[in-house]
Structures are given as C-alpha cells and as structure tokens.
A and B are shown apart, each in its own frame.
Chain A
Amino acid sequence: EPEVTQTPSHQVTQMGQEVILRCVPISNHLYFYWYRQILGQKVEFLVSFYNNEISEKSEIFDDQFSVERPDGSNFTLKIRSTKLEDSAMYFCASSFDTRDGYTFGSGTRLTVV
C-alpha cells in the first residue's frame, strides 16, 4: 500500500534556527497538508496545498512558516526562526480527493532547545 514518507523522524534544533521538514506524498495525490501535534494536545491543522499554491492556512501558520513543492514529488515545511513552542510532532498528509480522507506520514518530532 502506498505511503506518505517523512524525513527526518526526529530533529533537534536550537531556538532561532531554520528547519525544513520533508515529505514525499503519494504520487497520484493532488492535495497536500501539514498538521502538528504538541505533546498531549490535539492534532492541529497548519496548511493545505493544491495546484501549487496554499488553499487554506490556520492562525498558527504565520510568516515564520512556508511550504513548497519544489520538484513535483517533495512537499516541504520550513520554519524560518524556530521558537520553543514550535516543539511538536509534525505530520504531512496527502489525498486524491477530500472525500477519501487523508493518508498521513509517520511524522517528524521537532524539538527546539
């Protein structure tokens, strides 16, 4: 069964540093998403991406965040200047059609120190 792949599985970074989280969605999917889950809290929507542009974003997704699909296969989330409160599990997801539900990756655990 096709999978969404995320790398790295765990990243530790210093406050103020830039991080890039990488995702390879399922190849024929058209919609791409990033979610995050702070330890002990609910899974929160960050951003959705369709047709090479952001289709929706949450309040969390401020100017420090950006997404890119640089080469038709990868889908990246960049945090320009990390803060302690950015520490969370970040999940990438993709879907062919929203009615099918999303396929999630295994996540990247980001720890900001």
Chain B
Amino acid sequence: AQRVTQPEKLLSVFKGAPVELKCNYSYSGSPELFWYVQYSRQRLQLLLRHFSRESIKGFTADLNKGETSFHLKKPFAQEEDSAMYYCALIRANSKLTFGKGITLSVRP
C-alpha cells in the first residue's frame, strides 16, 4: 500500500528564512510525487511534480529514493508563501494519495 507521511503539522518561520517541508513515502514501486499548495480559502493547486525537476515560486523538491523522501525547500521564505502544503503520491494507474498536510506560516 502507498502512504505519504508529513511528520509536522505546522512550520512557522520569519520572512527570509529557509524553509524545508518534510515528506516521506512508502511504496514498493516507482512513485510519482507531487506537492500541492492551498492558499487560504482557495483550491488545491499543483506546485511541483518530481519528474519535471522544475522550480516554482522558488520552491524545489528532490526525490531521494534511498531515504524515500521528497522534501520541499525554499531558501528564502516570503509572506505570500503562507499556506497549507500537501505532499502526494501516485502509483501506476491509481489515485493520488495525500499526506496530512503542513501549515506554513511566514511572519514579517
């Protein structure tokens, strides 16, 4: 069975500080991993997908198969980054499974 673990519920940092949102997964096959963001009162939006190796809004995430992790990082947090962040996994021909999410709060 696939599982996504986001061990922390809340991360609070000051503007300009580095951010790392942790995500670990368990899946025996080759996973496809994503980060979604949900700003206050808005819809879930796709932020990153691991196979595209892109950087969106300064965020990056690297898949580490040895540690089964897909942590989301940003070197300098901005106030507008405050939101709920969800790590998610798809296995072949199946559904997207979400972690519990983490609230990122960036203080001025």
Q: Which A residues are closer than 8 A to B by beta carbons? A: 33, 35, 41-45, 48, 56, 91, 93, 98-107
Q: How far is the CB of A54 from chain B (nearest CB, A)?
A: 12
B42's closest neighbor in chain A, by CB? A106
Q: Is the Cβ of A98 less than 8 Å from the Cβ of B43?
A: no
- Collect the chain B residues with CB atoms within 8 Å of residue A101's CB: 34, 36, 46, 49, 88, 90, 96
Q: How far is the CB of B69 from chain A (nearest CB, A)?
A: 19
Please name 16 further chain A to chain B contacts, defined as beta carbons within 8 Å, in addition to the given A33-B95, A101-B90, sorted by A numbering: A42-B98, A42-B101, A43-B86, A44-B98, A45-B97, A45-B98, A48-B95, A91-B44, A93-B96, A99-B32, A99-B51, A101-B36, A101-B49, A102-B46, A104-B44, A106-B43
Q: Is the Cβ of A98 less than 8 Å from the Cβ of B93?
A: yes
Q: Which B residues are closer than 8 A to A by beta carbons? A: 32, 34, 36, 42-46, 49, 51, 86, 88, 90, 93-101
Q: Is the Cβ of B96 less than 8 Å from the Cβ of A45?
A: yes
- Secondary structure at the B interface, as helix, strand, loop or mixed, is strand
Q: How far is the CB of A31 from chain B (nearest CB, A)?
A: 9
Q: How far is the CB of B65 from chain A (nearest CB, A)?
A: 17
Q: Is the Cβ of B99 less than 8 Å from the Cβ of A42?
A: yes
Measured CA separation A101–B93 after assembly (Å): 12
A104's closest neighbor in chain B, by CB? B44
Measured CA separation A100–B36 after assembly (Å): 12
Q: How far is the CB of B38 from chain A (nearest CB, A)?
A: 9
A99's closest neighbor in chain B, by CB? B32
A107's closest neighbor in chain B, by CB? B43
Measured CA separation A82–B93 after assembly (Å): 31
Q: Is the Cβ of B43 less than 8 Å from the Cβ of A104?
A: yes
B41's closest neighbor in chain A, by CB? A106
A98's closest neighbor in chain B, by CB? B90
- What 6 pairs across the A-B complex have the smallest Cβ distances? A104-B44, A106-B43, A42-B100, A43-B98, A101-B46, A45-B95
